[in-house]
Amino acid sequence: MTSQPGLTSTTMSPIPNGTLLFNEIPEGYPEPGKTTVYDTTQTIDLGNIPLNGGILIKTLVLSVDPYLRGKMRDPAIKSYSAPFLIGQPLTNHGVGLVLRSENPDIKVGEHITGVISFQQYSVITALKLSTVSVIAKTEESIPWSAYIGVLGMPGRTAFYAWREYSKAKKGEVAFVSAGAGAVGSMVVQLAKLDGLKVIASAGSDEKVKFMEQLGADVAFNYKKVDTVSVLKKEGPIDIYWDNVGGATLDAAFGSANVHARFVECGMITTYNSKEGYPFKNIFEIVSKRITINGFIVWDWTDKWEDEFYRVVPKKIASGEFKYSEDITNGLEHAGEAIRRIQTGQNIAKSVVLVAEDKQ
Amino acid sequence: MTSQPGLTSTTMSPIPNGTLLFNEIPEGYPEPGKTTVYDTTQTIDLGNIPLNGGILIKTLVLSVDPYLRGKMRDPAIKSYSAPFLIGQPLTNHGVGLVLRSENPDIKVGEHITGVISFQQYSVITALKLSTVSVIAKTEESIPWSAYIGVLGMPGRTAFYAWREYSKAKKGEVAFVSAGAGAVGSMVVQLAKLDGLKVIASAGSDEKVKFMEQLGADVAFNYKKVDTVSVLKKEGPIDIYWDNVGGATLDAAFGSANVHARFVECGMITTYNSKEGYPFKNIFEIVSKRITINGFIVWDWTDKWEDEFYRVVPKKIASGEFKYSEDITNGLEHAGEAIRRIQTGQNIAKSVVLVAEDKQ
């Protein structure tokens, strides 16, 4: 097999291909070096590795999201998302630069986004090409990392479910937990756009400042201020956007208005613990006639994707929608980024910058 | 004031008017003789008590329902239903015979249904007449007690919410907790009518037999058989009708199918305890994209009452819909009936027969 025109050198020898491997199912929080290990022993021959109809990419950015914890499980346990396999690279949404292609629709030098491996370089086989898409050059000049954040899975998660389930009415009160996160920060802005009073919680003063910049009417650090008393004072709440579950969800039950809508996006407080949270106010589901909807973003692609693209990129480019990134430099530190997001230490959308955008 | 033609004697002296009073807020289960006391010291002069535009009734039957526990609370705590007041009679749905009337639309000898006092006799003032309705003589000869059961609040609860929220599709699997109860037994039959496989649980072998008679495909005694293992074997479940909350709700989360609908009708396991249940599977709301709806029957009267009357009385009269009553004789034993329903000792819809249907 001959070398490919997309590479700067036509004769290349194998080079190291750093890879983050899933190594052990965590008991509680994932531990870098134990749950995941960064393997530097693998090599790749960029010019000669067989593509068999697929493409070779250089990984530029990778997303780190709360839901990855759910994939670090015993594969015997079924869940909505496939488990990671011990000894295999982690995978998640990312952006890659195409170095070689045997697919006529994907050109060398283009950028693809989709679920890719936590590897510096990887081959996406012909069979898996349907899971990635080529990033169109839009008129807005938006950084690649945005495609895994505000324009990627988290941004869509917020947009699709807000449109589908919030039933927001001007003047209502919305409460958003993890309001500085990748999803929550978009929800805060969507709620303000719809004319709601927004209460937003997060776990650091830095996050509180960011939520205020996003327009939250009441932003608080739940580690310093009691959520129950904030909601009692500022509520009752008509919409609760739940990213955390546990005590915060119970507080939301306790301050729900009649006919409140709860959007269940995630429950990060449950991911790292086998102890269930003893809900005291769950009967309010009946008493306040609450509607609760759990959802997974890809259930709603067909219905909301077009409107998402019509609305969001423009508002991102104009600065009307703000976003913030918590950047980790280097794939070798991705394991720490994964842990940081589970413990709430990330400030904003967690992004791993793997490499620069050049061939 | 002169005596009234509706009474058998035109000159009457005061007679005892047995009354069940709310006496003390229970800590756990209500205790007859402590939480409620049966007071025999009150008297009433049936012929001369002023009506002021209202009516005088003789109480025939009274309903005992799980939700009464929620009314036995500190009045400072807000909830969907007004609290009972210490020293005042309990109230609930019942049927009364009209002994005297100063309202032109209500005739002596007619029967009214609505929320009435736990008293042998009571005056319903002009102001409160809007809360009761005269029972029409339908072609079906249905006992008065049915108007507080299958045709009353429990039957409507089942019918309205099943129609509104179940989104039942033929061939799906429904799980009904407290499936032998006043609401649950109707839900089991509505689910069978819609062509579903029905799993039903209750707390005694007698109740299990009744649920089998109702057509439940799988009926089990949760005190003898583990709910989790039944649902694992017979599920996953598409619809969960919740009357109990707690461990059973958690088991339902654990065996929910994708896009399951949970109808939250009640959570009797939470009413008598301040300890919250530690839910282990609540994240399945997200993972299985569950929709949960809490409701209160009277939210849906306008939408579903007509269809209810079109469908249910005929099926009751023909015997297609079965119902069962757990009868307590005598208002003096109503306190025990209230306790029995909280501890699950009632076999079916709990009814207190207060007096015979004669003037």
CB contact under 8 A, A294 and B289: yes
The predicted structure's pLDDT at residue B133: 86
The Cα A103–Cα A108 span in angstroms is: 10
Least CB–CB distance from B286: residue in A266, A282, A291:
A266
Q: Which CATH superfamily is domain B153-298 in?
A: NAD(P)-binding Rossmann-like Domain (3.40.50.720)
The Cα B125–Cα B54 span in angstroms is: 4
Show the tokens assigned to B310: 């079109």
Chain B residue with Cα closest to A286: B294
Helices (DSSP H) in chain A: which residue ranges? 68-71, 153-165, 182-193, 205-214, 227-234, 246-254, 268-271, 284-287, 301-318, 334-343
What's the CA angle centered on A288, arms A283 and A293, to 5 degrees?
A: 80
CB contact under 8 A, A282 and B276: yes
In a 3-state reduction of DSSP, which class is residue B101? strand
Confirm or reject contact between A40 and chain B (CB < 8 A).
no
Q: What is the C-alpha end-to-end distance of chain A, expressed in Å?
A: 20
Least CB–CB distance from A270: residue in B266, B282, B294:
B282
Task: Give yes or no for residue A263 having a pLDDT over 80.
Answer: yes
Least CB–CB distance from B280: residue in A70, A80, A276:
A276
CB contact under 8 A, A296 and B289: yes
The Cα B135–Cα B116 span in angstroms is: 14
The Cα A176–Cα A181 span in angstroms is: 10
Question: How far, in Å, are A161, A298, B78, B160 from residue A261 at the CA level?
Answer: 12, 21, 20, 20
Chain B residue with Cα closest to A243: B286
The Cα B216–Cα B196 span in angstroms is: 10
Least CB–CB distance from B276: residue in A266, A278, A293:
A278
CB contact under 8 A, A80 and B299: no
CB contact under 8 A, A264 and B285: yes
Tell me which of B160, B249, B282 to substitute to probe the interface with A (most A C-beta atoms closer than 10 Å). B282
Confirm or reject contact between B275 and chain A (CB < 8 A).
yes
The predicted structure's pLDDT at residue B80: 77
For residue A319, the 8-state DSSP code is T
Chain B residue with Cα closest to A292: B292
Give the alpha-carbon dihedral of B173, B266, A227, A30, to 10 degrees: -30
The Cα B31–Cα A27 span in angstroms is: 45
Are A245 and A177 a contacting pair, CB within 8 Å? no
What's the CA angle centered on B257, arms A155 and B201, to 5 degrees?
A: 135
Chain A residue with Cα closest to B300: A289
Burial class of residue A212, CB neighbours in 10 A (0-12, 13-18, 19+):
middle
The mean of the pLDDT values for chain A is 92
- B191–chain A nearest CA distance, Å: 21
The Cα B197–Cα B220 span in angstroms is: 14
CB contact under 8 A, A276 and B274: no
ipTM value for the complex = 0.82
Least CB–CB distance from A79: residue in B264, B270, B287:
B287
Chain B residue with Cα closest to A249: B282
CB contact under 8 A, B285 and A266: no
CB contact under 8 A, B277 and A278: yes
Of the candidates B70, B30, B61, B64, the residue with the CA atom closest to the CA atom of residue B296: B70
Per-residue pLDDT of A46-94, as tens digits, reads 999 999 999 999 999 999 998 899 999 999 888 778 999 999 999 999 9
Residue spans of beta strands (DSSP E) within chain B: 15-16, 19-22, 36-39, 43-44, 55-64, 91-101, 111-117, 121-124, 132-134, 173-176, 197-202, 218-221, 237-242, 256-264, 277-279, 291-294, 325-329, 349-353
Confirm or reject contact between A265 and chain B (CB < 8 A).
yes
The predicted structure's pLDDT at residue B7: 55
The predicted structure's pLDDT at residue A2: 41
The list of chain B residues with pLDDT below 70 reads 1-12, 138-140
Q: Which residues have a Cβ under 8 Å from the Cβ of B226 and sit 6 or more positions away?
A: none
Show the tokens assigned to A175: 């409460």
Burial class of residue A9, CB neighbours in 10 A (0-12, 13-18, 19+):
exposed
CATH 3.90.180.10 correct for B15-149+324-353: yes
Cβ under 8 Å to A: B residues 139-178? none
Confirm or reject contact between B280 and chain A (CB < 8 A).
yes
Tell me which of B287, B295, B301 to substitute to probe the interface with A (most A C-beta atoms closer than 10 Å). B287
Cβ under 8 Å to B: A residues 228-247? 245
Per-residue pLDDT of A125-177, as tens digits, reads 998 898 888 887 764 578 889 889 888 889 999 999 999 999 999 999 999 99
Show the tokens assigned to A43: 């090599």
CB contact under 8 A, A294 and B282: no
Per-residue pLDDT of A210-259, as tens digits, reads 999 999 999 999 999 999 999 999 999 999 999 999 999 999 999 999 99
Q: What are residue A44's DSSP bridge partners?
A: A15
Q: Which residues of chain A does CATH 3.90.180.10 include?
A: 15-149+323-353
Least CB–CB distance from B286: residue in A267, A274, A287:
A267
CB pairs under 8 A between A and B: 106
Return phi, psi of residue A225, to 5°. Answer: -120, 140
Confirm or reject contact between A76 and chain B (CB < 8 A).
no
Per-residue pLDDT of A299-341, as tens digits, reads 899 999 999 989 998 898 888 999 989 899 999 999 999 999 9
Task: Give yes or no for residue A1 having a pLDDT over 50.
Answer: no
Q: What is the DSSP string of A87-103?
A: TSB-EEEEEEEEEEE-S
Q: Which residues of chain B does CATH 3.90.180.10 include?
A: 15-149+324-353
- A282–chain B nearest CA distance, Å: 8
Q: What are residue B198's DSSP bridge partners?
A: B174
- B114–chain A nearest CA distance, Å: 21
Looking at per-residue pLDDT, the higher value among B84 and A358 belongs to B84
Q: Which fold has domain A15-149+323-353?
A: Quinone Oxidoreductase; Chain A, domain 1 (3.90.180)
Confirm or reject contact between B200 and chain A (CB < 8 A).
no
Q: Which residues have a Cβ under 8 Å from the Cβ of A226 and sit 6 or more positions away?
A: none
Show the tokens assigned to B299: 């939210």
Q: Which residues of chain B does CATH 3.40.50.720 include?
A: 153-298
